Amino acid sequence: MITSKTISNGILKAIGTLALIVAAIYLIWQIQTLIYYLVAALILTLIGNPIQLFFRKKLKFSMTMATVATLFIFILIIVGLIMMFVPLVLSQSENLSVLNTSEIETNVSELLAKINNFLISHGVDKGNTIDVSKITSKLDFNFIPVFLNSVLGALSSFGMGLASTLFITFFFLKDKIMFIIGIKKILPDNHEEKILNSLSKINDLLSRYFIGLLLQLFIVFLLYWIVLLIFGIQNGFVIAFFCAVLNIIPYIGPLIGSVLAAVLTMISNLGMDFQSEILPKTIYVMIGFAVVQFIDNNFSQPIIFSKSTNSHPLEIFLVILIGGFLFGVLGMIIAVPVYTMLKVIGKEFFPENKIIRILAKNI
């Protein structure tokens, strides 16, 4: 029999649960920076695991020395990238005027005017050409400097975050055995082996995935840069850099990068004749970028991702699309790592399920 006391207890319990959820969300919001550090440290740990293993197995380093050597390699790479990339990106960005909104608007207006003149000279009626004033009034150019300033700011002023991330990474690498022992103590005995096996496989697969992702982005950046060098595009390094960064977003990122490359190519050559120099160069760059994407989509990306996660290329493609439909751009970025973890967990806990047996047969 339901009494008023039972109802009041249920209401109080629901209010208490809701209060705990709100408090947890508020706490997570307040410590979100720390969560970013932990996620970054976890990714570095996954990338560093094979390096640490090499030092331990091949060079017979102790755990502490292998961890220090791994972090030293990370620091050398980070310092080298900062010294090489940041000054060049900053200087070339200034040359491109990508940090000045009014300059961007002026350049785009001039570019659209040249396109109009080109269309009119080829018989297009003036009424059917581009209305420069309408387009520039509707476009918000502020997103460009905001995006680029955030990227450059993160690269040039992340000392505290880097130090914190490397500090956390050191203990993630050095004391991972201690963490495993601690996890074993709190795991239920009937699921302990399955959970530990899942963690071990997830660690191995995601380590290979993030290393493969870095390799893929470097290959794309190098190919983009080569294309821009071949066609003599000014500021090719920074254009290739930003387009490679956008490549992190599967399928949509490369398309945005190609459009960005075309626009920046035209803007950086505004002093030239549109028909004889700007238009041909832009077409060549677009063709070059299309070739790079063909190589990336059909060779480097499927090979790297399918090998690193033991998944079929079509499987990866569908997973990324589903992630995009459900959670947008962020879903596309995290789709492959999350799917890999789910496959491992499914194989350990539901090995007799027919669908899981098919999907996880190579894990």
Do 216 and 268 share a domain, yes or no? yes
In the prediction, which pLDDT does 44 show?
87
Share of the chain above pLDDT 90, in %: 7
Which tops the pLDDT comparison, 302 or 358? 358
| pLDDT value for 220 | 92
Question: 286 or 117: whose pLDDT is higher?
Answer: 286
Cα(40)–Cα(28) distance, integer angstroms: 16
Quick check: 362 pLDDT over 90? no
Residues 6+ away with beta carbon under 8 Å from 215: 304
Phi first, then psi: give them for residue 268, nearest 5 degrees.
Answer: -75, -10
**pLDDT over 80 (residue 89):** no
Q: Is position 110 within any domain?
A: no
pLDDT at 25 over 90: no
pLDDT at 292: 92
- Give 135 or 257, the one with higher predicted confidence: 257
End of a domain among 125, 159, 186?
A: 186
Q: Write down which residue in 169, 186, 203 finishes a domain.
A: 186
Q: For the chain, what is the domain count?
A: 2
pLDDT-based confidence at residue 99 (cuts at 50, 70, 90): very low
339: pLDDT strictly greater than 70: yes
pTM: 0.71
CA distances 77 to 70, 72, 74, 80, Å, are 11, 9, 5, 5
Please tell me the predicted confidence (pLDDT) of residue 136.
52
Token pair listed for 241: 């850099």
pLDDT at 92 over 70: no
Assigned domain for 249 exists: yes
108 lies in some domain: no
**For residues 221-248, average pLDDT:** 86
Mean pLDDT value across residues 89-107: 57
Measuring CA to CA, which residue among 152, 143, 159 is closest to residue 94? 152
Residues 171 and 192 in one domain: no
Three-state DSSP at 251 gives coil
Q: Dmax of the chain from CA atoms? A: 88
Question: Which is more confidently placed, 167 or 92?
Answer: 167
Q: Is residue 119 part of a domain?
A: no
Q: Say if residue 178 is in the same domain as residue 201.
A: no
Residue 176 belongs to domain spanning: 1-100+141-186
- Tell me: the pLDDT tens digits for 110-163? 777 777 777 777 666 655 555 555 555 555 555 555 555 565 555 555 567 778
**pLDDT-wise least confident of 13-22, 131-140, 183-192, 268-277:** 131-140
Q: How many CA atoms lie within 13 A of 77 on its CB side?
A: 12
Q: Region 295-322: what's the mean pLDDT?
A: 80
Q: State the pLDDT at residue 155.
A: 54
Interacting residues of 260 by C-beta distance below 8 A, sequence separation 6+: 239, 242, 243, 246
Whether residues 22 and 168 fall in one domain: yes
Cα atoms in the Cβ-side hemisphere of radius 13 Å centred on 245: 15
Q: Coil, strand, or helix at residue 199? A: helix
CA distances 279 to 150, 262, 274, 275, Å, are 31, 10, 6, 6
Q: Are 267 and 175 in contact (CB under 8 A)?
A: no
Same domain, 1 and 76: yes
For residue 47, pLDDT beyond 80:
yes
Kindly state whether residues 167 and 212 are assigned to the same domain.
no
Mean pLDDT calculated for residue range 346-363: 81
Same domain membership, residue 56 and residue 22: yes
Same domain? For 162 and 213 the reply is no
The whole-number pLDDT of residue 288 equals 92
Mean pLDDT across the chain, nearest whole number?
79
- What average pLDDT does range 297-315 have in this prediction? 77
Question: 228 or 277: which carries more pLDDT confidence?
Answer: 228
Q: Are 28 and 168 contained in the same domain?
A: yes
Q: Which of 130, 163, 186 is the C-terminal boundary of a domain?
A: 186
Phi (first) and psi of residue 191, to 5 degrees: -120, 0
Confidence band, pLDDT 50/70/90 cuts, at residue 224: very high
- Given a contact cutoff of 8 angstroms between Cβ atoms, the answer to whether 118 and 279 are in contact is yes
Record the tokens describing residue 252, joined without a space.
């949509």
Note whether residue 23 is domain-resident.
yes
In a domain, 105, yes or no: no
Sign of the CA dihedral running 79, 85, 91, 97:
negative
Q: Residue 348 in contact with residue 194, Cβ under 8 Å? A: yes
Position 125 in a domain: no
**Residues 148 and 221 grouped into a single domain:** no
Q: Phi then psi for 187, rounded to 5 degrees? A: -80, 145
Same domain, 40 and 78: yes
Give residue for tokens 């238009």.
279
Distance CA 202, CA 309 (A): 9
43 found inside a domain: yes
- CA 22, CA 6: separation in Å to the nearest integer? 24
Confidence of residue 251 (pLDDT cuts 50, 70, 90): confident
Which H/E stretch holds residue 13?
helix 4-30
Can you tell me the mean pLDDT for 248-259?
A: 84
Do 347 and 269 reside in the same domain of the chain? yes
